Amino acid sequence: MNTDDFLWWAKFREVKRPYLENDEYRMIAEIHARVKGHPVDYPCKCNPKRIQNMIDDLNLEYDKL
C-alpha cells in the first residue's frame, strides 16, 4: 500500500455510513488490485459480500503498517 493509498484508506475508515459512494467503490477496487497484484476488477454492486471482502483485505493490509 503506497502512501497515497494509505492516507486515502485512513480517511475512508473514518466514514461511518451503510453505503459506498461511487468514487469510494472505484478506489477500493483499484487499491485492492495494486495491493494484491491483480488486474482491476469492479465487482457488481449487487454483490456487497465481494466488496466487503475487498474492504476486509485492505483493512488487514492497513493494520499491518
Asked if residue 32 lies in contact with residue 54, where contact means CB atoms within 8 angstroms, the answer is: yes
CA 22, CA 8: separation in Å to the nearest integer? 15
Task: Look at residue 47 in the predicted model and tell me its pLDDT.
Answer: 83
pLDDT at 1: 87
In tens, the pLDDT along 4-62 reads 999 999 999 999 999 999 999 999 999 999 999 999 999 998 989 999 999 999 999 99
Write out pLDDT tens, residues 4-18: 999 999 999 999 999
Determine the pLDDT at residue 65: 84
Cell representation of residue 25 = 467503490
Count of CB atoms within 10 A of residue 24's CB? 16
